[in-house]
Amino acid sequence: MRTTGTEIIAEARDLGYAYRPGQFAVRHLDFQLRRGEVFGLLGRNGAGKTTTVRLLTTLLPPTEGGGRLFGKELTACGRAERARIGVVLQSESLDFVSVEQNLRLYAFLWGVDRETAKSRAEEMLELFELGPMRERKPWALSGGERRRFQVARELMHDMELLFLDEPTVGLDALTRSRILDYLATRARAGLSIVFTTHILHEADRLCDRIGVMSDGRLRTVGPPAEIKRAYRGARTVEAEFERALNPVEAQELDALLAHDGDGFSWIERRADLLLFQAANAESLVASLARWAGARGVEMTRIAVREATLEEAFVHIVSEGPAPEGTLARRRA
Amino acid sequence: MTLPPVLRLVVRNFRASIDPITLLVMFGQPAFLIVILGTMFNQLIPSVGASGSYVAFLVPGMIASQMITGAVLAGRIFWLDRRWSMVEQIFSGPFRRYEYLAALLLTTLLFALVGVGIMALVALPLAGLPTLSAVELAVILATIGLGATFFGGLLIAIGSRIRSANLYFTIQSLLQYFLIFISTVYYPVSSKTPVVLKVVVYANPLTYAANTVRDAFTHSFGPGDLTAGIVLGGLALATFGLAVAMFRRLEFGPVQ
């Protein structure tokens, strides 16, 4: 993980937006973004990620609560603050000129001088592997190429904070990896990033902290590792025996797991293999080992696998926030 | 040196938003009408009031109608910017909303002036052009400017509330044709004109613009032209205000 600064450059304070009175797209958002930090917003379709980006980029005015961008109230932010941010929209945005002209024209719009724009366009064409299609119109590109083009175009100007609304949709694994590496490099150089995605392992890899959204609310905020640890119910235990258990042994084991298991659920059960999830995975492993030792059943394998971000995510969005006192209640 | 935001947006509008074929059709069609209508109707119509020949009557009308051409082009740019999310992209950048609107209206005006130049060039060998005083030229340009702002503002305001390309372009085509045909661009209003048509024609701001340009061409400004200018100015201000209000409430997201 990178070391992020202490300066807060964006902040949501009980931030909310209602399309119509009483119909909230997002509500009660509370989080802070520090300089050089990569903050991931995860959530299902319609969770409110894009609305959150629109609020923080001043495209939408908050209808309740507030927030700050570079220390200034969102409602008072204008050209000066927006000149310090970059936005890759979820929807495709393009002009009716070639890929290369698009890059240079966008730089011109941002007031980048001609020489810098020229050299940066070359850099971006190479970095995003758009060189062979520089003369083509963006709408003639494939979906993945257009997405690459859009990210490349936004990087034509200088910024301190970059909003990326699902930037890797439609990209192949190799391209995704290259883009994530590049963004990580920029973040190390001090660029702050707000990143929304459905691809959870990307967020796990790139983000310093993650906010999980569901139904317009921020359910939890924290570093990926902490979020995974906080949702221990998603930890998986795998136990394998040297032989198939007989019915009496199986019955004893059932009783043991049902008695000691906290939030216990089976994933797979065979006569010689148990695969289950439980919140108190470590203590169950110890109970299992004791039982096997007492019964004289040799265990060939026993392992506790940390929850993946995807498992934690599914748990959060399907079962709601973590209990009081855990990450969900903690102000980021 | 970095240009001011409005001018950067105008440059972008010219470089990136309109394809050459569209420009050719938009400017070619009225030029074609001057040549064909002017030549053909000249044979049938011996003279039209102070203008003299029909083609001499038609040319100032077609020049005035370029405010509609400019407005249609700007409306098209705005719609395509919405369709391809460039409005959202630009608004999230170092621009204020009114600057984008001002750039669109300036683009409208510049397209209208390009149209005026093309119509004048086409008209020159057919009807000749009168020698205009500085005041007459200024009045023509001001009229075109106010008219372009009025029609441009109107189309932008409509475009900001509609989320369907089909509906927007249908409304735009209907407006364009109704405004041009129910005006004095192609024909004069006389005592023989049915009252209902007279009312509709005089309710159309393009009529006043066409009459003012025509009066400049025949060196016959009157109090009516001053009234027309004031009315056109008021309408331009009103639609500009309407467009600003619509921009404030502009909804982002997909349009079809």
- The interface predicted TM-score (ipTM) is 0.85
* Chain B residues in contact with A54 (beta carbon < 8 A): 252
Q: Hey, which CATH number is domain A8-224, 3.90.245.10, 3.40.50.300, 3.20.20.150, 3.40.50.620?
A: 3.40.50.300
More confident residue, A310 or A183: A183
Which residue blocks in A5-48 are alpha helix, DSSP H? Answer: none
Higher pLDDT, A198 or A62: A62
* Shortest CA gap B76–chain A (Å): 13
The secondary structure element, H or E, covering residue A193 is strand A192-197
Q: Which of A295-309, B63-77, B90-104 has the lowest mean pLDDT?
A: A295-309
**CA distance, residue A139 to nearest chain B CA (Å):** 10
Q: What is the DSSP letter of A74?
A: G
Contacts of B116 (CB under 8 A, 6+ apart): B63, B66, B140, B144
Contact indicator for A87, A57 with CB cutoff of 8 Å? yes
| CB-CB under 8 Å, B89 with A79 | no
Given its phi and psi angles, is residue A60 left (phi above 0), alpha (psi -120 to 50 degrees) or beta? beta
State the Cα–Cα distance between residues A168 and A198, nearest whole angstrom.
Answer: 9
Domain boundaries, chain A: 8-224, 232-305
CA–CA distance, B44 with A169 (Å, rounded to integer) = 65
Q: How far is A207 from chain B (nearest CA, A)?
A: 23
Q: How far is B25 from chain A (nearest CA, A)?
A: 18
Position B179: which residue type?
L
* pLDDT of the residue at A326: 37
Residues B41-50: tens digit of each pLDDT: 888 887 777 7
Q: Is B155 on the interface with A (CB under 8 A)?
A: no
C-beta neighbour count of B44 within 10 angstroms: 7
At residue B237, the pLDDT reads 93
B12 touching A, CB under 8 A? yes
**What is the helix (H) or strand (E) element at residue B62, kind and residue range?**
helix B54-83
Tens-place pLDDT, residues B179-194 = 999 999 998 888 889 9
For residue A202, how many other CB atoms are within 10 A of its CB?
21
Beta strand A273-277 with A236-241 is antiparallel
CATH code reported for the domain at A232-305: 3.30.70.260
DSSP H or E stretch at residue B198 = helix B195-202
Torsion-angle region of residue A79: left (phi > 0), alpha (psi -120 to 50) or beta? alpha
Q: Which position has the higher pLDDT, A277 or A141?
A: A141
Considering only CB atoms, which chain B residues are within 8 Å of A109? 8-9, 12, 90, 93
B84/A93 CB distance under 8 A: yes
Is the separation of the CB atoms in A157 and A106 below 8 Å?
yes
Alpha-carbon distance of A310 to A315, in angstroms, equals 8
pLDDT tens column, A74-89: 999 999 999 999 999 9
Helix axes B97-127, B54-83, angle to 10 degrees: 150
Spatial separation of the C-alpha atoms in residues A18 and A62, rounded to whole Å = 8
pLDDT of residue A22: 87
Tell me how far apart the alpha carbons of residues A167 and A148 are, in angstroms, rounded to a whole number. 8
pLDDT level of residue B255 (50, 70, 90 thresholds): confident
Q: Which residues of B touch A91 (CB under 8 A)?
A: 85, 88, 253-254
B223 touching chain A per CB within 8 A: no
Q: Is B13 on the interface with A (CB under 8 A)?
A: no
Average pLDDT over every residue of A148-168: 94
Q: Do B88 and A91 touch (CB under 8 A)?
A: yes
- CA A207 vs. chain centroid, Å, equals 7
Mean pLDDT across B131-151: 91
pLDDT at B146: 92
Q: What pLDDT digit, counting tens, does each position of A218-259 carry? A: 999 999 888 887 765 557 888 899 899 898 988 888 888 888
